[in-house]
Structures are given as structure tokens and as C-alpha cells.
Structure 1
């Protein structure tokens, strides 16, 4: 870990951004919006949203914050890994920004879901949002593969972290492809999303504790 070519401020800010992404992403999908949606019943979903409209709106805003933090994280990770490979870091930056943009644009479908007073339209827009989210995750999968290579090449990041991020890309890519080409099988990949959650939480933690490691390395 000697000679870490990383700014402590950049690493810490990247870790904070990652923490915001995890909290807002899981919070909006699982805690806020998830309980209001039943893809088997348009009528029940429309009634649940109408009965707790503020909760649904807060879930959209949480996703907006997540997308903003994701764009900031993309830039910070570029600076963190640029010393390893400027080309790979730039590629990872571009694909992560594409993901952020697609996910942010897809939030318009959630807004449309509460604009039209029609249960079937409400559920249709929510389903469109899910497809748009998975489209963004295809680009994020590529980002994961590039980031995994950067981690493995870096010499200052744990190699296990690189393997975890790379496997996360496999999960994201598989889930997204199934969403479009074999939607009936998408449910089978759902439990595997625990792996990306663990890997990204570990990546976040590493970024948050990296400044302390950098200070110790500078004293060695």
C-alpha cells in the first residue's frame, strides 16, 4: 500500500457519493416505492399510490439524488484510477455517466405514472421505468468490467474487491438482458442482486477508509 497515488479528499468524496447512492437507491426502491407496486394488479397499484402519493413522489426525488451522486462518483473515480490507466478510467467514466443519464431520464415514466388517472397507464409507465432502469444497467455492467480491471491492475486496491465488482457486472448484464429478451426468466436472477449490493458496499467502505490508509502510507 506504499505510495498511494490518490487524493484523500477525492477518495473520501467518492465514498460519500457511493454511500448516498446505496442509501437512496435501496431506500427509494425497497422502502418507499416497492410496497406500493404490484405488477400483477394495475388497480391495486393505482389505489396504493393514490392513497400515499407523497411517498411515491419522495421515491422519485430519492432517485434524482441517487442519479446526481452517481454522476459525481463517476468523475471522482476517474481521478482515483486515472494513474492506473487514463484510457480505461475515461471509458469507465463515460459508461457510468451514460447509466446515470438513462436512469435519470427514466424517472419521467414514474412522474407520468401519477399524472394520468388511469390504472393501466400507471402500471405501464412503472413497467417502462423498470425497463429503462435495466437499460441503464447494461452500460453500468460495462463500467463494472472496466472498473474491475482498474482495481486489479492498481496495486493499491484489494484484488478481491476487483473480482466482486467484475461479478457484479455479470449479474447486472444478465439481469438486464433477461429483462428484454426473456422477461419470464428475470425473476430467477433477482436473488443474485445481493452480490452487487455486497460488492458495492465493500467498494464504498474501501473508499471511505482509504484516506486513513493514504496517510499511514505517507508516514511509512
Structure 2
């Protein structure tokens, strides 16, 4: 006689295994993804646009010195995004692996490659702060030289962002494909994510190859990344279809 499985808050317990419901994975992924949005808006968009004055190193340096705490918070925010990204992609892997393990692994690789690039890129922001620290060893530099160095490292940081953005785009394609093929999540979200991939990639290549052109396609192709976490958090997944995919993949 076999024991019947017991269910407790999304956890299915049998006499041999403990299985977490895909709804748990969906909810956790939704929360983590939504958490990245305000962190990214604050650390990557709002603070730089507030403090950095294009073409004016002195004004930029003065802004950073006057709002050093804000600038440091933007660094912490950028680092937190990467930490959240690690957990997010691992949860999404558990959720999407039943569709295709190889594509799910590719999604993880692309997402994790971006993490060290983005985290190490924050050294450029710390370098900018060091040049404004007033340390004794900086007396060899004049004010204009210090401000120019600050602007140099801020420019390096911007280039680093666009390098990381290549992988922020690439991980969306296998994720979008998996969602499109899954049957337990809406196909249109998968399509939007794949479109979002090309938005990031095109933006990066335009920045590197045509730096005088100020075009941001990702500002129009981000809808998949907004709708996915909302769907995961509110609707979840079709559990029966997920279980069917999981059985077929074993």
C-alpha cells in the first residue's frame, strides 16, 4: 500500500521526495524580477541622469560631492541587482527546465556572465569617488585634472554597462523561447522577451559602432520584462501543463 501525497502550502510531500510546486517558483521569480526594476531605475537611470552633466566634468564632480550618499546608494543598488539576478535566474531555471534543459542552461549562462561584468564595472564608480576624496596623494593633481579623471571613469562605467547589456539581452532570448514553447505561460510574453533581447543588443552595438547616434530601442522593447513578473506573481503557471512537461522531460 502506497502513501498518498500530502500538500502543504505549495509543497507536495510523498514517502520518498519533497516537491516544491511550480507556483512557488513562479511567485518567487515574480517577486525577484519586480525587485530588480526599482533597483535598476534608481541605480542605473535616475542617479546618473541626476548627477552627471554631459560634457561638463566640473559640474559633474560638484554634483557627486554634494550628493555623495546618493551616488554611493546607486552603487549599492547596482550591486544588489546582480545579487538578485543570480537568485532569479536559478529560480527561473527550475521553472523552465521541463521545457528544454539545454535552452534553460543557456539562459543561466548568459545571465550569469553579465553578473561579474556589471559588478566589476562598479569599480569605475568607486574610482571616481576616490578622485574626489581629497586624499593627500591627490594633491599632485589640479582641480581640473581631478574632475577630468572623474569624468573618464564615469565614461568607462557607461561603456561597461553596454557590455553587460549584451548579456542582459542574450539571456532574454532562450527565456522567451522557453516560455513560448512551454504551454504553461502565455506565448505572447515569450515573443515580447525575444523582441526585448534584440532591443538590448541593437542599443549596445549602436553605442559601440555609432556613438554619435542617441537611440534607445530597449526603452520600447522592455514590455516582456514588465509583464512576465506581473504574470508570475498574479497568475502563476498552469500547474497541470507544467507537470506534464516535467514528466515528458524525465
TM over 0.5: yes
> Does the Cα contact within 8 Å between 1:113 and 1:121 map onto a contact in 2?
yes
- Extract structure 1 runs of 4+ deviating beyond 3 A: 210-215
Cα distance, 1:196 vs. partner? 3.8
Map of 1:152-167 to 2, 5 A cutoff? 152-167=180-195
What RMSD in Å do the two structures reach over aligned CA positions? 2.0
Structure 1 residues 213 and 148 mapped into 2: Cα distance closer, same or farther (>3 Å)?
A: closer
Cα distance, 1:202 vs. partner? 0.5
Is 1:46 aligned with 2:61? yes
1:59 paired residue among 74, 85, 90: 74
Unaligned stretches of 5+ in structure 2? 1-19, 133-145, 244-250
Q: After superposition, what is the alpha-carbon deviation per residue over 1:94-133, rounded to whole angstroms, capped at 9, x for unaligned?
A: 1001112211111111111111131111111111111111
Structure 1 residues 49 and 7 mapped into 2: Cα distance closer, same or farther (>3 Å)?
A: same
> Does the Cα contact within 8 Å between 2:176 and 2:193 map onto a contact in 1?
yes
Residue 206 (structure 1) aligns with: 231
Bigger Cα Rg: 2
> Does the Cα contact within 8 Å between 2:165 and 2:200 map onto a contact in 1?
yes
Cα distance, 1:182 vs. partner? 1.4
2:41 paired residue among 19, 26, 32: 26
> Does the Cα contact within 8 Å between 1:11 and 1:207 map onto a contact in 2?
yes
Cα distance, 1:8 vs. partner? 1.8
> Does the Cα contact within 8 Å between 2:26 and 2:237 map onto a contact in 1?
no
Residue 141 (structure 1) aligns with: 169
Is 1:85 aligned with 2:113? no
For residues 78 and 221 of structure 2, the distance between their equivalents in structure 1, rounded to whole angstroms, comes to 18
TM-score (norm 1): 0.89
Answer 1 or 2: higher relative contact order, Cα 8 Å, separation at least 6: 1
Q: After superposition, what is the alpha-carbon deviation per residue over 1:161-219, rounded to whole angstroms, capped at 9, x for unaligned?
A: 0111111111100011112121112x12x2x222343221111111212448649x99x
> Does the Cα contact within 8 Å between 2:199 and 2:218 map onto a contact in 1?
yes
TM-score (norm 2): 0.79
Residue 7 (structure 1) aligns with: 22
Unaligned stretches of 5+ in structure 1? none
For residues 6 and 198 of structure 1, the distance between their equivalents in structure 2, rounded to whole angstroms, comes to 27
